[in-house]
Structure 1
Amino acid sequence: MDQNVIAIIWDFDKTLIDGYMQKPIFEAYHVDENAFWQEVNSLPMEYRKQGIRVNRDTIYLNHFITCVQQGIFPGLNNARLREFGSRLNFYPGVPEIFRELEEAVSKNEKYKPFNIAVEHYIVSTGLAEVIRGSIVNDYVRGIWGCEFIEKPIKSALEIREYEKDAEPCESVISQIAYAIDNTSKTRAIFEINKGSNLFEEIDVNSRIAPENRRVPFENMIYIADGPSDVPAFSVIKSNGGKTFAVYPKGDQEAFKQVNQLIADGRIDMLGEADYSKDTTTYLWLKNQVLCIADRIYEKKREQISKSASKAPRHL
């Protein structure tokens, strides 16, 4: 495996945009955003009273489906979600930072002999279709996010007589196609690491020697906004990659959170969520990309030097 790829992995909400990507949905349907999230936050306790345990990170998906069924979000489908993605407001410097970090390597003649390249990925607990409809979609190699099914595939099983006690009740399950939470983000990172996101024949659980993995962890940079990303921060940092946390400019509470991540050894650096040229965030990310590219370059040169036999000479 060439291992000449630098993977920059981005969180989305509060990392690339200020707030949550669902905001345009609430605005379009005239729904109180805070009221929706308050209901979502109350659901784990309410379901616990029924003896049901739910995933706090992804229960909001079920609540969206509930609101569609109740007519609160009429006609909400994947096409509309993509359209809402075009309404998102990104932090300064986005999407330019994606192109500039990529070109910092691709336009450098030094790295061309070894085809060293930058790839961007988004791993989010938000909605993949919204991200696909946003301005960053054209700059990323892959997106992990939550997804909905519009038309469930029907069962081909025959309808048979059933016992009276087994009669179906009025409550039925609705369908979520794919859900990703703050812990399962690490699965996406391993898929990038092993290359199973690009090659179907490679399963993420397959045992692959480190030297045969497409993107070594030390070639990764993970950028996110806070404590909920600790599992992803930990996987990458403990395996030699780089981690960076952002906070909104002037937000003292957000700064305290990410500053604690520095103290806890979770991240390498922090900065304001401003990716404009010459900001601390921009300079740190670009410097890390070039440092990784230099390390890959030197490793390739060393491999060639060791494998080359001595040229014949006159005796």
Structure 2
Amino acid sequence: MSKGLFLQNVIAIIWDFDQTLSPHYMQEPVFDHYGVDARKFWEEVRSLPAFYARAGIKVQQDTCYLGHLLTYVQCGLMGDLSNAKLRELGAHIRFHDGVPEIFFRLRGILEKEEFKESDLHLEHYVVSTGLAELVRGSAIAEYLSGIWASEFIESPALPGLNPSDIPKPGPITQIAGFLDHTTKTRAIFEINKGINKLKGVSVNDTIPEDERRVPFRNMIYIADGPSDVPSFSVIRKHGGLAYAVYPSGSAHLFAQVDELLSSGRVDAYGPADYREGSQTDMWLQRQVSCIAQRMMKDRIRTLESSVGRGPHFSE
């Protein structure tokens, strides 16, 4: 009997953030707080690859905004921006209608009588090219089982450091780690293998499919557009579900996600409206229920096929 079926009791919903959970870029409260023109900042960011290319330097379009944010801090335009400040400003992030209510509504499905005794769990994850501290300070943080996003260092370790020293707080000065639209796929494999929950497990470890903490077939990935095609592809290739969202009323972005469906990148799409009874809410509720029912059937089949019949005695 495969013991994995009894360990694999988790359904994971993996969320992109900007334009998916929020109609805005998550950095908006930072720009508002410091009086920085967001439109100008992002225009500068879009010009950075060409700017640095003139010096023979290649930068990544997805993540070069992180360095530009540090430049704003170093130039005094966001002088006291620290990790604590980012977390504080995260409380001002605005979300699409129905968020965060959909997080606990979906979890409630597994509390229904038909699933109660099966010890099934639903976990929500954010995998984003945005800033982890902003997400940690936001209204959805308490509902998340993990956050994969970019991080900053405040006080860098100096030559001759004492490893037992504790870094001092202060303004952010360096990039600690980042996610781009390609490395987001690594985060999905880390969720798959349980890196965030199981000590001593590495993403490069060889783990049989039936022993991985969250099999891909128990995953739903939700994002807003073509930049998430690498993640959509990984999820669908391994048996998970991919769902694209678009802002209601935008014909251009509707056409964009419709093309994702036509090209086989996603399983379905709907408006970024998460209120109870909306198309997206009903699709997600149905898929969570279907995954849970399939998990229970898999367990029953495995038990039936592994339990041998005892000898039969006739009188």
- Work out the CA distance in 2 between the residues paired with 1:240 and 1:59: 33
Superposition deviation, residue 308 in structure 1? 2.5
Residue 142 of structure 2 is aligned to residue 138 of structure 1: yes
Gaps of 5+ in 1: 158-173
- Work out the CA distance in 2 between the residues paired with 1:20 and 1:200: 33
Superposition deviation, residue 74 in structure 1? 1.4
When the two structures are superposed, what TM-score results if normalisation uses the length of structure 2?
A: 0.92
Superposition deviation, residue 147 in structure 1? 0.5
Aligned-partner SS, 2:24: coil
Residue 129 of structure 2 is aligned to residue 125 of structure 1: yes
Q: 1:31 maps to which residue?
A: 36
Aligned amino acid, residue 142 of structure 2: D
**Of residues 52, 62, 76 in structure 1, which corresponds to 2:67?**
62
- Work out the CA distance in 1 between the residues paired with 2:211 and 2:131: 32
Superposition deviation, residue 312 in structure 1? 6.5
**Of residues 110, 115, 127 in structure 1, which corresponds to 2:114?**
110
**Of residues 86, 93, 102 in structure 2, which corresponds to 1:88?**
93
Superposition deviation, residue 309 in structure 1? 3.5
Any residues of structure 2 matched to 1:191-206 within 5 Å, and which?
191-206=190-205
Q: Deviations over 1:46-94 (max 9, x none)?
A: 1000000111111000000000000010100011101111001111110
Superposition deviation, residue 307 in structure 1? 2.4
Aligned-partner SS, 1:244: strand
Aligned-partner SS, 2:115: helix
Maintained 8 Å contact 2:24/2:94: no
Q: Deviations over 1:131-180 (max 9, x none)?
A: 000010000100000010001112218xxxxxxxxxxxxxxxx5201100
- Work out the CA distance in 2 between the residues paired with 1:290 and 1:22: 34
Any residues of structure 2 matched to 1:202-281 within 5 Å, and which?
202-281=201-280
Q: 1:156 maps to which residue?
A: 160
Moved more, 303-312 or 18-27: 303-312
- Work out the CA distance in 2 between the residues paired with 1:252 and 1:269: 17
Superposition deviation, residue 306 in structure 1? 2.0
Aligned amino acid, residue 152 of structure 2: F
- Work out the CA distance in 2 between the residues paired with 1:193 and 1:204: 9
Residue 9 of structure 2 is aligned to residue 4 of structure 1: yes
- Work out the CA distance in 1 between the residues paired with 2:86 and 2:12: 27
Aligned-partner SS, 1:109: coil
- RMSD value over aligned CA atoms? 1.3
Count of aligned pairs between the two proteins: 298
Percent of residue pairs identical: 51
- Work out the CA distance in 2 between the residues paired with 1:16 and 1:311: 55
Maintained 8 Å contact 2:73/2:79: yes
Maintained 8 Å contact 1:114/1:300: no
Aligned-partner SS, 1:55: coil
Aligned-partner SS, 1:292: helix
**Of residues 99, 104, 115 in structure 2, which corresponds to 1:99?**
104
Q: Deviations over 1:22-65 (max 9, x none)?
A: 11111111111000000011111010000001111110000000
- Work out the CA distance in 1 between the residues paired with 2:26 and 2:160: 37
- Work out the CA distance in 1 between the residues paired with 2:117 and 2:31: 50
Aligned amino acid, residue 270 of structure 2: G
Residue 56 of structure 2 is aligned to residue 51 of structure 1: yes
Q: 1:286 maps to which residue?
A: 285
Superposition deviation, residue 314 in structure 1? 5.9
Q: 1:160 maps to which residue?
A: none
- Work out the CA distance in 1 between the residues paired with 2:258 and 2:292: 28
Aligned amino acid, residue 307 of structure 2: A
Instruction: Give 4+ residue runs of structure 1 displaced > 6 Å after superposition.
Output: none
Moved more, 247-256 or 8-17: 247-256
Q: Deviations over 1:260-279 (max 9, x none)?
A: 10111000111000000111
- Work out the CA distance in 2 between the residues paired with 1:235 and 1:301: 29
Q: 1:15 maps to which residue?
A: 20
- Work out the CA distance in 1 between the residues paired with 2:300 and 2:113: 15
Q: 2:168 maps to which residue?
A: none
- Work out the CA distance in 1 between the residues paired with 2:183 and 2:116: 35
When the two structures are superposed, what TM-score results if normalisation uses the length of structure 1?
A: 0.92
Aligned-partner SS, 2:14: strand
Aligned amino acid, residue 101 of structure 2: E
Q: Deviations over 1:227-264 (max 9, x none)?
A: 00000000001111101000111011111111110111
